[in-house]
Structure 1
Amino acid sequence: MNRYLVPVSVLGTAVGGAVLLKDYVAGGACPSKATIQGKTVIVTGANTGIGKQTALELARRGGNIILACRDMEKCEAAAKDIRGVTLNHHVNARHLDLASLKSIREFAAKITEEEQQVHVLVNNAAVMRCPHWTTEDGFEMQLGVNYLGHFLLTNLLLDKLKASAPSRIINLSSLAHVAGRIDFDDLNWEKRKYDTKAAYCQSKLAVILFTKELSRRLQGI
């Protein structure tokens, strides 16, 4: 085994997010009592849904939580709500637009400069079944936000995560990946009629493949 084994592990891909959310609403709870005092956690798309509930639970456990969202008004409101419920004042909102490579680079640069350590990155944000929109950089919106944006963010923060080991990268996916097919000749749906469902499935399959390859590389295999 390579003695320079990268000390960062990928927690894996959370598959079936809708099922997890349903279980949470129905009363499901994590049995672990572990706390994360002093740990810094970034959660993308944390102003609502699974992202907010994840941030809330981790804030309860004492973490320094960074909510990374596009809509700052909603993000600030979510951070305030979480601080009020948990009495954890180390919950902050940061601007991150995953449909903009410039925004992603600016966010990562600020995190790298201002945060001494980053222990957990939760890539949660997603766009689902939108019209045929494109990102600021011309990518099909669902592939751009769900996969490409998180791919860039993860790689920009990788050195910080390595330096903060033991660390975790969590990529949220969906059972939709099962129906996914990646058309490498037409990733942006420029040569065929746009199918928003198929585009979403493609993006979630890309997340699965990214997670598997990232895990392989970080294990030094």
Structure 2
Amino acid sequence: MGELPVGPMARRVVLVTGGSGGIGKATAIGLARSGARVWIVGRDLRRTEAAADEIRAAGPRRVGVFVADLSSLAQVRQLADDVRQRLPRLNVLVNNVGGYWNTRQTTTDGLERTFALNHLAPFLLTNLLLDRLRESAPARVVTVSSQAHANGRIDFDDLQGVRDYSGARAYSKSKLANLLFTYELARRSPDLSVTANAVHPGVVNTSFGAEDPGAVQRLLVPLLRPFMKTPASGAATSIWVASAPELERVTGSYFDNGKPRRSAENSYDRAVAARLWQISSDLVALPAAPQPS
């Protein structure tokens, strides 16, 4: 007989996107240590399997693997299908995957990559898994945003930076979109069967942005690395929000450094959130759903 799960997350099933490295892997390790049955999503099979081995060694718990490039809408949909087929229960979805590109890039769907990966991927995946989460209630959706959201602006006339692109602006906009999505999702789940919260992990020492770094990543980050959080420290708030019993009925909140914080004023604009939800639904071809009262 295998070891029986113990801890606050015993017998709970968790899916962590971007779980093959950095904050995502550290989040998965923390939740596994809390007793959860953890599944991670990564782009590369070999790297994701290696991360799963690390998580098992730290747990020790059973760890499952899904492989998907979440910048592709087709692969997000395939991931959701695979999750529904393989996981009869899903208690926590941690939308951790994200990226930064200094130059404008497009995905196979013709979408701006930062917007596609950081916002549309968690938006679509969450919506496709909502029924499974509700069937597993009480359930939680935890989305990793950033304090950079405070510099974000949703320009509906140039949502994907076709006319005017900046890596920093695209990233800040996507992190603001994470909060608008989180708050709107909370309003659309008033029965609290699924709670929706967002977190800021802090400035963490990872390879984030290394594929296409800007001047800040190239020049400033190496100097700041000794002062950055470790991935384990950066994951602490995600782990707490995903697992803390006292947060079971808390929804529509933003957490930073293990505490609830008020996010930027424009993140609470309901009209912008509703419009962004509708445009995002159209972009990912999501069937229309009733709006919150």
Give the TM-score category using the shorter length. 0.7 to 0.9
TM-superposed deviation, 1:34: 4.5
Partner of 2:189: 218
Secondary structure at the aligned position of 1:122 is classed as: strand
Partner of 2:153: 181
TM-score by length of 1: 0.81
Is 1:77 the counterpart of 2:54? The answer is no
Secondary structure at the aligned position of 1:177 is classed as: helix
| Aligned-pair identity (%) | 43
Q: Pick from 168, 175, 179: which aligns with 1:197?
A: 168
Partner of 2:125: 153
CA distance in 1, matches of 2:60, 2:119: 34
Partner of 1:49: 22
Q: How does 1:76-95 map to 2 (within 5 A)?
A: 76-88=49-61, 90-95=62-67
Partner of 1:63: 36
TM-superposed deviation, 1:216: 0.9
CA distance in 1, matches of 2:89, 2:59: 22
Judge which range, 151-160 or 121-130, deviates more.
121-130
- Structure with the larger RCO, 1 or 2 (CA within 8 Å, 6+ apart): 1
Aligned partner letter, 1:54: T
- Listed as ranges, the gaps of 5+ residues in structure 1 are 1-32
Q: Pick from 104, 107, 111: which aligns with 1:135?
A: 107
Secondary structure at the aligned position of 1:103 is classed as: helix
Aligned residues of 2:95 and 2:143 also touching (Cα < 8 A): yes
TM-score by length of 2: 0.62
Secondary structure at the aligned position of 2:77 is classed as: helix
Secondary structure at the aligned position of 2:177 is classed as: helix
CA distance in 1, matches of 2:35, 2:127: 26
TM-superposed deviation, 1:66: 0.6
Aligned partner letter, 1:148: L
CA distance in 1, matches of 2:183, 2:60: 37
Aligned partner letter, 2:53: K
- Listed as ranges, the gaps of 5+ residues in structure 2 are 1-5, 192-292
The number of residue pairs the alignment matches comes to 187
Aligned residues of 2:102 and 2:166 also touching (Cα < 8 A): no
Partner of 1:15: none
